[in-house]
Structure 1
Amino acid sequence: MNTIYKLVKTFKYFHRYASSISNPLTDCTIFSLSSGYGKCGVSVIRVSGPRTKYALQTLVGLRHELKPRYAYLKSIYHPENKELIDKGLVLWFPGPASFTGEDSCEFQVHGSLAVIAAIMDALGKVPGLRPATAGEFTKRAFFGGKLDLTEVEGLADLIHAETEAQRKQAMLQSTGALSRVYDNWRRRLIRCAAHLEAYIDFAEEENIEDDVVMQLNKELRRIITEIREHLNDQRQGEMLRNGVRTAIVGAPNVGKSSFLNMMCQREVAIVTPIAGTTRDIIESTHNFGGYPVIFADTAGLHKQTQDIVELEGMSRAKECLQNADLILLLTDARELLANIANNNGTLKEYQSSYLQQLDLDENALADKRIQLITNKIDLLSTTELQRLTQIDVLRISCKEPNTVELQPFLQHFEGVLRELCGQPSAEHPRITHTRYRQQLERCIEHINIFLDEYAPDIYPDIAISAQKLRNALKCIERITGHVSSNDILDVVFKDFCIGK
């Protein structure tokens, strides 16, 4: 009986890793406008908390129980002067079957500013109600166990999504695609930690099999392999979420600003025949085939200048290159043909020499995706154009963008973005936040420390080594939010709008 008691006590101890954190909500009921601000046909005002039903009774005078999740057309009155404010739809969501897990309701009313202000004032007069802060509805859903932290962040990304690919990725994350992956590792680490604790406490007394630790080590190595495969994604999810930072570089007057204007289909940058017009970084975000691209037009790179403003512009251009995900290297078509003909070189050799001419370290850019593009093909003769077509290089004319060369270039560029960002899928969800990557890397570090310390020929204090396993578990729990951290929560919820 003593042994059974110890086992139960041990597993109860580790069960706290599997249980959700406690709900810190108070008795306060919150309300806010959940639809967009400004004049519109219909506005939605949301209420959540224990006094939601009382608020409904106060504003619409309920004579009978409302059926959950049914829309009722009701007259809405101010609680103080009993004046009719509006007639609208009222929906009742009793907890826990609601977004927040609490009793909730919605008022769907006419979207005039006066109606919204009157209903918000009426709710403010109901005892126990207060206006919601930014992200408070979602925060209550998190603390109520309706969402974990990855799903919360996916919901935030869905609200801010601007392209179709971003929407797909955010939707997958908000519905638990990443959560299921991390929860699988979490549960397996909990089981490993529990088995290890049982081995520490009872191995000598109860003849627990000696291969427990061996099987434990195998499982931990499998987890490491899976996490490394997950990490080896070339930051596709993060690029899709944040946008592909694309630097447009080249010598002065090769058409970088014209290229930016052509890709964004508007006059973003000033274009003149004078070399060196662009001095600072000019950025513009564009939805290209469903993928977000942040184009950055940079100052022309060359060595023949003593102008301090131009030198500063080139310094900023090189810094932009270091932070870019994709580098578009623009060249003059005639210069490209002449260089290859004179040096009998290949396109790759030309690109290397071109980077050196621009005073760029090719080795420093080794991990960058560099795409060579030749511009000004409209200035080529028929013979020169035929020679250029024999070279496997992307060809465009920013001055005459309607040439037959443009469509193949756009299709190729979209393919490059697809390679960089990948295709969002539920089977292989991508890491979308740097925070996830950092915690997963730390998780691997802690597991490796445990495996290294608990080698069969070392015989350390296994109880001390077991702490490394618990630390690995905490890294996963910090991603999903099972370990409460105010710093993490503040970062997650700061970008939510009020009413969500």
Structure 2
Amino acid sequence: MISGTSIVALSSGRLPAGVAVIRISGPQTRFVVETIAGRFVGERVAMLRKLRAPDGTLLDTGLVVFFPGPASFTGEDVAEFHVHGGRAVVKKVLETIAGFDGVRHAEPGEFTRRGFLNGKMDLVETEALADLVNAETEAQRRFAVRNAEGVQSELYLGWRRRLIHGRAMIEAEIDFADEDDVPGSVSDTVWLDIRSMIEEIDRHIAGFRSAEIIRDGFEVVILGPPNAGKSSLFNALTQRDAAIVTDEPGTTRDLLEVTLELEGIRVRLTDTAGLRDGPGRIEAIGIEKARAKADKADLLLLLRDLADPVDLAIPDTVPALRVGTKVDLLDAEAARDAASRYDFVISVVSGAGFQDLLSEIGRRAADAAGNVGDVLPSRLRHVELLSEASRHLRRALGGHSAGQELRAEELRLAADQLGRIVGAVDVEDLLDVIFSQFCIGK
């Protein structure tokens, strides 16, 4: 599918910058390049050119690279203009290119969408490309790179090929049962493979939580009574004064959140209102938010002031670390006793125990994320379609009384669900949603 309209956009980052990359794709690309940069622009070679408007006005001097289709990112003729990254320069070059007949400004994700529609990548690889652009941590980058290379797609397409083959064998047995070339026991082998595939898909689905942690982060919530040192620990972990710290109880009334990178994993850290009985109306709202946030956490840090301990009713459904704070206020014997009763004893004043606690949070986040090299479902969309495919396979496997024709139909329906993941089957209703997540110029 080669579009009749060309699109142009700034494809590099925020301006001003040292260099800005302006990309154009579509059938007018070669004409635009030869008009602005002059004739004889080589293919896949960066060439220094004076860039001029059609009336001869000098726009800038920069590099031009031309990629003829179909061997390009979008499958169409594509060119890049590497110009100086001033706002006025970029604005003028964009206006000039968009002023050509048949050229318009690109919409978010439109370059990638054209690449998908022209068969340069499938839908899973497209989503992985969006993850790569948005990656903020090393784990996110590695996860996105693996999927962009096609390992996730190959897994789903491999399952789909096995289903298509199995269905063909069953239908051959039905239609040509009297032929010598079609053994009567072929369906037994198919159903053994289907049973194995159900187990493979279910194990794959179970990895979605690890993928969520890689993409969205490991949730850590700090809980404790007022003045237990929650905000002080929060500031120490974030290495800035993100939360107000005072001796007055109930200073923190709302949730405060920051993002860290520990062991290459994104960690979302939340400071909360102090938990206590008889709070004021506003403080009570903060406490309710704290408890709700704690219920959804991956890890709780349960703080207790060692110099003034207060008992605290805590959730027992979420993994937790018991942390004694202000150990610098204790004598040596009391500190040793506290260390035996808590997972960690710390002081943000002296730094005691702080690095050990930080390392443990990072270790737990990494364990929860699992092996970043594993092939995992990276979207809830994938999980829903995989679950539906698994349901069809279970119906096919258990439908002994339904007849081979109906069981083969269940295999077809399962294969279609897998095809929808990679975009091989009827995904028009998904495209606007998926490509709207991209930035303009990508």
- Give SS of 2:231's match: helix
User: Aligned partners of 1:392, 1:205: CA distance in 2, in Å?
Assistant: 74
Aligned to 1:439: 385
In structure 2, the CA distance between the partners of 1:306 and 1:382, relative to structure 1 (3 Å rule), is closer
State whether structure 2 residue 281 is matched by structure 1 residue 308.
yes
In structure 2, the CA distance between the partners of 1:390 and 1:329, relative to structure 1 (3 Å rule), is closer
Aligned to 2:100: 126
Deviation at 1:36, TM superposition (A): 1.6
In structure 2, the CA distance between the partners of 1:233 and 1:372, relative to structure 1 (3 Å rule), is farther
Count of residue pairs brought into register by the alignment: 442
Deviation at 1:401, TM superposition (A): 4.6
Deviation at 1:391, TM superposition (A): 4.3
Q: Which amino acid aligns with 1:305?
A: G
Aligned to 1:193: 167
Aligned to 2:8: 31
State whether structure 2 residue 398 is matched by structure 1 residue 452.
yes
User: Aligned partners of 1:397, 1:246: CA distance in 2, in Å?
Assistant: 19
Aligned to 2:351: 402
User: Aligned partners of 1:308, 1:202: CA distance in 2, in Å?
Assistant: 77
1:410-435 CA-partner distances (Å, limit 9, x unpaired): 2222211111112311xx22232222
Q: Which amino acid aligns with 2:367?
A: E
The normalised TM-score by structure 1 is 0.83
State whether structure 2 residue 20 is matched by structure 1 residue 43.
yes
Aligned to 2:38: 61
State whether structure 2 residue 53 is matched by structure 1 residue 78.
yes
State whether structure 2 residue 397 is matched by structure 1 residue 462.
no
- Give SS of 2:82's match: strand
Aligned to 1:285: 259
Deviation at 1:234, TM superposition (A): 6.5
Aligned to 1:93: 67
Q: Which amino acid aligns with 1:251?
A: P
Indicate conservation of the 8 Å contact 2:324/2:338, yes or no: no
Matches within 5 A, 1:394-433: 394-398=344-348, 400-403=349-352, 405-425=353-373, 428-433=374-379
Indicate conservation of the 8 Å contact 2:307/2:330, yes or no: yes
Deviation at 1:377, TM superposition (A): 0.9
User: Aligned partners of 1:275, 1:234: CA distance in 2, in Å?
Assistant: 40
The normalised TM-score by structure 2 is 0.94
Deviation at 1:484, TM superposition (A): 3.1
User: Aligned partners of 2:225, 2:302: CA distance in 1, in Å?
Assistant: 9
State whether structure 2 residue 302 is matched by structure 1 residue 329.
yes
Identity %: 38
Matches within 5 A, 1:241-280: 241-280=215-254
Indicate conservation of the 8 Å contact 1:333/1:376, yes or no: yes
Computed over aligned residues only, the root mean square deviation of the Cα atoms, in angstroms, reads: 2.1
Indicate conservation of the 8 Å contact 2:30/2:77, yes or no: yes
State whether structure 2 residue 48 is matched by structure 1 residue 106.
no
Aligned to 2:204: 230
Aligned to 1:155: 129
In structure 2, the CA distance between the partners of 1:218 and 1:251, relative to structure 1 (3 Å rule), is same
State whether structure 2 residue 409 is matched by structure 1 residue 478.
no
Deviation at 1:205, TM superposition (A): 6.4
User: Aligned partners of 1:177, 1:207: CA distance in 2, in Å?
Assistant: 35
Q: Which range moved further: 368-377 or 155-164?
A: 368-377
In structure 2, the CA distance between the partners of 1:314 and 1:124, relative to structure 1 (3 Å rule), is same
User: Aligned partners of 1:102, 1:171: CA distance in 2, in Å?
Assistant: 24
Aligned to 1:348: none
User: Aligned partners of 1:475, 1:372: CA distance in 2, in Å?
Assistant: 45
User: Aligned partners of 1:495, 1:133: CA distance in 2, in Å?
Assistant: 11
Q: Which range moved further: 217-226 or 287-296?
A: 287-296
Give the alignment partner of residue 493 of structure 1, picking from 435, 438, 441. 435
User: Aligned partners of 1:286, 1:139: CA distance in 2, in Å?
Assistant: 32
Deviation at 1:300, TM superposition (A): 2.0
Deviation at 1:407, TM superposition (A): 2.2
